[in-house]
């Protein structure tokens, strides 16, 4: 983490320690990066190639699937695991709705129908 910060600083990226840390935490929570803790103040981060933890938003009209990753879901998983004494291995979360494309299409159709009824 510190070496990444120094590396970015050397490359003249305008970035704060907090930003680097928060980004790494986000990557860890999405299982894109694995955190190895060495002692209290030393941690090393490693790119992980395993299963990527993510959730889905699914359009009920065109069946489009959008992936997302939110660290809060990982936090809930950890909290529930501790609370119920469960060793939680993975989770799945699907949110169903209507995507922006389908919504726009619906609205256009509605408008067209209205216009047609006005002509009659």
Decide: is 61 part of the binding site for Zn ion (CB under 5 A): yes
Decide: is 1 part of the binding site for Zn ion (CB under 5 A): no
CB 77 within 8 A of CB 29: no
Interface mask (CB under 5 A) for Zn ion, residues 40-59, using x and -?
-------------------x
Beta strands per DSSP E along the chain? 33-38, 42-47, 55-59, 65-68, 94-97
Which is closer to Zn ion, CB of 62 or CB of 95?
A: 62
Decide: is 102 part of the binding site for Zn ion (CB under 5 A): yes
Decide: is 62 part of the binding site for Zn ion (CB under 5 A): yes
How many whole angstroms separate alpha carbon 114 and alpha carbon 120? 10
Residue 67's nearest CA partner among 94, 100, 104 is: 94
Which is closer to Zn ion, CB of 1 or CB of 102?
A: 102
The residues that touch Zn ion, with contacts defined as CB under 5 A, are 59, 61-62, 64, 99, 102
């Amino acid at each position: 983490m510190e070496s990444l910060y120094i590396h970015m600083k050397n490359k003249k990226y305008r970035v704060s320690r907090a930003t680097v840390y928060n980004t790494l935490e986000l990557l860890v929570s999405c299982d894109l990066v694995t955190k190895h803790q060495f002692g209290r103040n030393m941690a090393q981060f490693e790119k992980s190639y395993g299963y990527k933890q993510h959730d889905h938003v699914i359009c009920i009209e065109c069946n489009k699937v959008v992936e997302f990753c939110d660290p809060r879901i990982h936090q809930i998983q950890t909290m529930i695991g501790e609370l119920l004494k469960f060793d939680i291995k993975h989770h799945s979360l699907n949110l169903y709705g209507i995507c922006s494309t389908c919504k726009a299409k619906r609205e256009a159709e509605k408008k067209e129908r209205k216009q047609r009824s006005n002509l009659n």
